[in-house]
Every structure is written in C-alpha cells, then in structure tokens.
Amino acid sequence: MHPLPGSSVGQTLAQLSFPSSENANRKNNILIIFHLIVFICNIDVLAHRMAEAPRSCDCFVSLPPGSRDDHVIFGKNSDRPRDEVQEVASYPAASHPPGSMLECTYIQIPQVEQTHAVILSKPAWMWGAEMGANDQGVCIGNEAVWTREPVCPGEALLGMDLVRLGLERGDSAWAALAVITGLLEQHGQGGPCREDPEPFSYHNTFLLVDRNEAWVLETAGRLWVAQKVTEGVKNISNQLTIGADIAAEHPELRSVAQAQGWWDGEGEFNFSEAFSPENPPARMEMAKKRYKGGTELLQQHDGSVTAEVMMSILRDKPSGICMDSGGFCTTGSMVSVLPKDTSLPCIHFFTATPDPSRSIFKPFIFSEGSTRVLRVVSPQFGPDDPVRKQPRFQTQVDRRHDLYKAHQTALNTLETNPDEGLAIYEILRDLESQCLSEISAMLSGEISGDELGDLFFDCVDTEIKFYE
C-alpha cells in the first residue's frame, strides 16, 4: 500500500503496519483494519444528493450459484424519514408464561411460549424492525407497497412488527412466513408507519431468507401470495413482483380477485397484474427505477456475489438504492452471510448509522454470553413516549444513541473539508476488503465463531472512541 503524496491520510497510513496474520491474533487484525476504515470512511464525501431519488427500500438475496461461495447472501437498505434514528438491538432467546400477552407497536397479541434470539435494525420508536436475523439463521426485511386493496384505517400490526414476530417465532424462512401470514390473517396490518401526527400507512412485501432458500411474500390487506427462490439472485422493492409463479397463497385470494373484477377466473392467474393499483402512487412509479437498477446490479455480479459485493450494491448512489434525497435517506443497512454448512456461524453486518457510503458495516455473530451493545440502542421513554400517548406523536423526543450522535458530529465536521475524499476512495475499499477477508478466514474454519462473539461490541466501541 502506497501513501498518497501530500496527504495527511497517506502520511498516517504510512506510519502504520499490519500484523502478520500468521503471527497475530486475527481478531486484533480485524479491529486494526476496522479502525482505519472508520478514519477513512468519514472523510469520504463522494456521496451526492439525488434531486429526485425514488423513495423506497430495497432487499436483495443471492443463493448459489449466484453467490461466489456456498453461502446465501442477504442485504437490505432501510430508507426512512431523514431525522428518524435507527437502532440495532439484540434480544436473547426467552421462555414466556402460558397465556401471556405481547405488546407490539400499537396492539397486544398472545405471546408464544418460546422465542428465538434476534438482532434487529429498527426505527427506535417502534417495537418492530425493518430488518434483522435470528439465531436459527433466518433473515427478514420488508418493503412498503400499495395495492388495489385499500389500506384500512385504524391500528393493527405494522409490517415491521411482522418482521420481528417472524424472526422471534420462525426457525426457517418458511416457518417465519407461516408465522407472518397467520398473524396477518388474524390481526391484519395497519397503523401509522412513521413518527408523525399525519397518518402514513401501507401494506408490505417481505423477503425471508435462510441457509437453504428464500421466500418472497407479498400482501394486500389480509391476503397474501408467496414465491419460492432456491437459486440465483432476487431483489424486491416497493411494487408487486409475483406473477404466475406462485408457491403458496391465501385460500381466498383468487375468489376475491374474481369478485372484484380484477381477474376473469379463466386462464393464468397473475397476482401482480390483478392486484397492482390502476393509478399507483408516484412513489411506486419512482421505485421502478430502483427495482430495475437493483436487478441489473445483481445480474452484473451473478455467480460472484459476496458480502463485499452486496455492500457495494447497498452503497450505489446512481440507482437510488443508497438514498439521500430531500426528507428521506438510508437510515440503516444490513448484510448477512448464511453458510450452507451449518457448522459455520452466520455473520450479520449492520451500520447502525445513516448512509452506508459513509458508514461502517460491523459484524455480529450469535454466541453464548456475547455482550449487548447498548451504545447503538436508543433511550427509552416509557409511558411518556409520544408513541404511547393518545393522540400519538404530538411531541418529539431525542432518540439518538451514542454511535448515532458521534457519527453525526463527525460528518458535520468532516463535510467542511472534503478535499481528500476522492483520493482515499480506493484505499477505503481496499481496507474494507481486508476486513472482510478476515471474516472469510473464519468462515473457512480457521477461527472459531465463539472467538469473535463480541466483535460487534468491539467495533462499535472503537468507532465511538475514534470520533471522540
């Protein structure tokens, strides 16, 4: 690695050396590399704000042979209101008394007797999550969608609640899908989807992934349809994509479509054609660009998708996948590596900060006794929380967690001195590649996953200390 002439970054790097992986603990290697990535990434101000970026989220999956290795790769960007804080919270597996009730974002539902350990990237004000994983090797992300079925008024389960419930209760992608569809039929979906007194609600699509397969689940009110994906690459955005390739569906789906005049009852049934709105909202039309861009990016890497490739897709600005437009931005990002070999641990990378092009993906591994990372968990306000009071969201509270505040301060400072951004772009990618190489060594069996159980904690702590 050659230092940049006249660059303070280059001079700093020139003074550092990497311990040989043969002679030093690999965990320390990862932290050293991570520390450098933090330094470089926060003066990378290449990201420009798109004037009219499509407002939506995107989920991606690659299964062999789409993946380079024998791994399933999952990725998602959560695009939300710019000032909304996304936290990363982990919850252990738990047993619950028979007959107990569970308080979701707006409603209570019966609790089950046993729930899995989960790691969630979630808007700090709600109970549910935009994306996450459980200790069974299941990952789920959701997207907003609008259909011919009206969005019903009133409060029910949010799509984000269903993500968390699927992870807590499902030991496979299919089992999680069964959990979500059962709860959807029983309780419905609805309620304000942002922290604002002005109502904003939608239906949901989901991407559910495990070590062996993926499922796309698309909903319209309490109705639903599912498509199975067993190989190759797939992405979803804010539109219906399931046509005639249907693996499972609500028993009344076709009869409702026929009764409404959306399908004549003859010939092939195409869910997207039947249930997509005739006059879709502008946000759905704009999302088509993102969906097309995401599909093209996946196809470009078909057969060679890795965690690093997935991160690069989530950082892509021209497609709008990495959003930074007006009142919306990518508030959190996630990439997961799910080895088909069940003797190897799953790796889940989270940013816990906005804009993946100027954030660090930090690896999390489920392990016994791993430390809960409170510095990426937002403050709690109990009964005084605006989401708990009626009417809801009449006031605002500061939900920023420690890492969010430190990252925000660093960006505000560094944006005033962008000169070195272009010069260090390639170095940033090189350093991150080295970090991912160390994780790859673990996946090859050279390191026990238990040795890296607190790596997420260590990385968050290192990042905050650097900002300070």
Encode pLDDT of 315-349 as tens digits. 999 999 999 877 889 999 999 999 999 999 999 99
Q: What does the domain layout of the chain look like in residue ranges?
A: 8-467
On the question of pLDDT at 15 being above 70, the answer is: no
Element housing 33 (H / E): helix 26-41
Hey, what are 198's tokens?
């002005």
Catalytic residue at 346?
no
Structure token digits, residue 277: 């709105």
Whether residue 204 contacts residue 230, with contact meaning beta carbons closer than 8 Å, is answered with: no
Mean pLDDT over 156-172 rounds to 99
Instruction: Find where tokens 């308080």 sit.
Output: 103
463 — pLDDT class (breaks 50, 70, 90): confident
Strands (DSSP E) found in 25-107: 58-63, 71-81, 86-91, 94-95, 101-103
Side by side, which strands form the sheet with 223-229? 86-91, 118-123, 131-134, 139-145, 203-209, 214-220, 223-229, 248-249
From CA 446, how far away is CA 433, in angstroms rounded? 18
Give the span between the Cα atoms of 244 and 274, in whole angstroms: 11
Mean pLDDT confidence for 162-173:
99
Closest by alpha carbon to 238, among 56, 53, 77, 54? 56
- Among candidate residues 41, 57, 59, 346, the one labeled active-site is 57
Q: What tokens does 225 get? A: 């349809």
Does CATH number 2.60.40.420 belong to domain 8-467?
no
Compute the distance between CA of residue 359 and CA of residue 326 in angstroms, rounded to an integer. 19
Q: What is the mean pLDDT of residues 171-182?
A: 99
Q: Whose CA is closest to 348, among 443, 426, 431, 425? A: 443
Q: What stretch of H or E contains 324?
A: strand 324-325
Question: What pTM value is reported for the model?
Answer: 0.90
Average pLDDT over residues 297-325: 95
Determine the 3-state secondary structure of 181 from DSSP. helix
Contacts of 372 (CB under 8 A, 6+ apart): 90
Is the predicted pLDDT of residue 425 greater than 60, yes or no?
Answer: no
Q: Work out the burial of residue 412: count CB atoms within 10 Å of its CB; fewer than 13 is exposed, 13-18 middle, 19 or more buried.
A: exposed
Helices (H) and strands (E) in the chain, counts: 11, 19
- pLDDT tens-digit map of 220-277: 999 999 999 999 999 999 999 999 999 999 999 999 999 999 999 999 999 999 999 9
Residue 334 C-alpha from the chain's centroid: 4
Quote the pLDDT of residue 394.
97
Q: Could you tell me which residues are beta bridge partners of residue 266?
A: none
Question: Which amino acid type is present at position 3?
Answer: P
Output the CA–CA distances (angstroms, integers) from residue 216 to 33, 142, 229, 332, in the order listed.
Answer: 36, 10, 8, 21
Strand partners, 131: 121, 141
